[in-house]
Structure 1
Amino acid sequence: MEGEAIGAARCAVPAFPGSRAPDRTRTVNADGIRIAVHEWGEPDATPILLVHGALDFARTFDAFAPLLADGGYRVVSYDQRGHGDSEHADLYSWVADERDLLAVADSVTREPLIAIGHSKGGSLLVHAIQALPHRFTRFVAIDGLPFRNPHADSAVREKKSMTAPIITRWLDTRRQSTSLQRKPGTLEELAQRRARMNPRLSLAWLRYLASLGARQDADGWRWKLDPVIGASGFGPMRARWMTDRLPGFPIPMLAIFGTEREPMGWDATAADLAPYFPPTTQVHVMRDTGHFIHIEQPRATADLILRLLRS
């Protein structure tokens, strides 16, 4: 199932305090799509599967994953299809992303494993764990649980209805996909663009991300993200798919929430989801923290998770 190792980065990566490149890189073949996999920690240590959010990539965990690895774990993350160093696909869907997740998990172990997901990665894991609870032992959602707020639900309802204009726009985008390109710029410009989506993250961190998550073309730098993928390019997803099943969630869960709203966040609070959690759920709120909890507070987040895993 594993393919060739991934090549080196295409530009010099600036230093960022606490960040550490993966100890190993490899690929997994997920139904014909090459998925880039990154690992921190000893290869024979207890594995943790780490799943990133939408429009992100595995190296966004560079300051967080090493802390878990130093705690004695083998931390495995991967670039979702169309993201980072993974291959682009003809189609993107929630179910395809879940199949890729399971392909990576299978490449690590066929025994039950620990899973941590941020944002969309948390929601993917909710569905995967509900479908295959025997494959997982404990789950941590880092602001990874959407809620049925009116704005999100109305947008998803419209998309799910598959009206003629929606289908036409989708087909037109697919038809143009071979010629679509993301806007080029310097690495500094890419970092500044990302700052509009992540206003709480420092420019030093965003420059670090741009140096890892972008490629250099003849006319400038572009994020290594399929231009077909937009804010909802991974397919329809309704919050009710999760909340209706949460009361019977099959394994212990730690749900971590921030308190500050951000453009890329779910806007879901611990209070919103409290009625849906089973008694086994532990809830922790990080004060004065936004959607990217593990980037704003990597040490506090890692320590919280390590205490859970050692209990």
Structure 2
Amino acid sequence: MQTTSSHEVRFNLPSIEVAAKVWGDPDGLPVIGLHGWLDNAATFDLIAPRLQGVHLVALDLPGHGLSGHLPAGGYSLWQQAATVLQVAESLGWERFALLGHSMGAIISGILSGTLPERVIGAGLIDGLLPFTSEADDAPKQMARFFEASLALSSKRKPVYRSMEQAVSARVMGGTTPLSREAAGILVERGLMSDHGGWTWRTDPQLMLPSPLRFTSRHALTFIEAIRSPVSLVLANQGVMHKHPQVLERIERFEHIVVHRIDGGHHLHLESQAPEVATILDSFFQGLA
């Protein structure tokens, strides 16, 4: 029986400490949860208690939530994926399933395509293919990264008088629409005290442009290489509804089961959470 409460764990990896929230029976299906960009492990707070028969270890990926930060230039999709594998090794999990939202779903796709013998299956929420650019764009993309990196030292994190002010900032300043209730769940884990107020724990480096992106062919190759089951919950008003060419590509992946639900990018933290959880619960029970 899945417990409704969670507990905290820490993983002392070779180069960083990674924090996580854990739900469920240790004898259940091993699942590693991966949140979206600038979010944290609390992203699964509403759906985790509804997943039966799983042992969910939801990470704060490096630079997010309660986890440590990496040295300059340390963040990439493949670096984050490598951290997931280090956590799996720490847990003694030779084979495991993945639960990913947004960036976490993209990382899940990379891992599933790269190491199909280790990934039992992946439940994804509104994410699959990363943003891409072609080889000819690489010098300009790298230049944007260098310029932004040099300017980073002169920037200061905002300080909010209260958590409520920080929640308002997240609601108003996010890249995708987010309810106040959903923002509150994420913000609580994403803040630290500072000069009598509150500021973000998030590593400012995460705001930098990627120094290098996959080409579209790279991205597709990882997904085409997946051999384990994949269930993808797509938000009809999520991040991909503005990119019909991406949706068209996803629909052509015959090995991925797609479920479309009305809702925004964080639908698993909104009123649609029970519906999302029901789909994922059925998927993980099938894997078990």
Q: Give the TM-score normalised by structure 1.
A: 0.79
CA spacing shift, 1:266–1:221, aligned 2, 3 Å = farther
Pick from 252, 256, 264: which aligns with 1:290?
264
Q: CA deviation at 1:20?
A: 5.7
Structure 2 SS opposite 1:161: helix
Deviations 1:150-193 (A, max 9, x none): xx546x7687325674354144146x2xx753111121221112
1:306 match: 281
CA RMSD across the alignment: 2.8
Contact persistence 1:181–1:227 (CA under 8 A):
no
Q: CA deviation at 1:282?
A: 1.0
Q: 5+ unaligned residues in a row in structure 1: which ranges?
A: 1-18
Contact persistence 1:146–1:266 (CA under 8 A):
no
1:31 match: 14
Q: 5+ unaligned residues in a row in structure 2: which ranges?
A: none
Deviations 1:73-120 (A, max 9, x none): 111111111111101111222222111111112223333111111101
1:89 match: 70
1:67 match: 50
1:139 match: 122
Q: Does 1:242 align with 2:219?
A: yes
Structure 2 distance, partners of 1:247, 1:300, is: 28
Contact persistence 1:37–1:78 (CA under 8 A):
yes
Q: Identity, % of aligned pairs?
A: 25
1:273 match: 249
Q: CA deviation at 1:271?
A: 4.0
Structure 1 distance, partners of 2:196, 2:138, is: 37
Q: CA deviation at 1:21?
A: 5.1
1:76 match: 57
Pick from 227, 239, 245: which aligns with 2:204?
227
2:157 match: 182
Deviations 1:104-149 (A, max 9, x none): 12223333111111101111111112111111111112111136xx
Structure 2 distance, partners of 1:125, 1:141, is: 8
User: Superposition pairs for residues 119-268 of structure 1, below 5 Å?
Assistant: 119-146=102-129, 153=132, 160-162=138-140, 165-166=143-144, 168-173=146-151, 176=153, 180-185=155-160, 186-196=162-172, 197=174, 200-230=177-207, 232=209, 236-261=213-238, 267-268=242-243
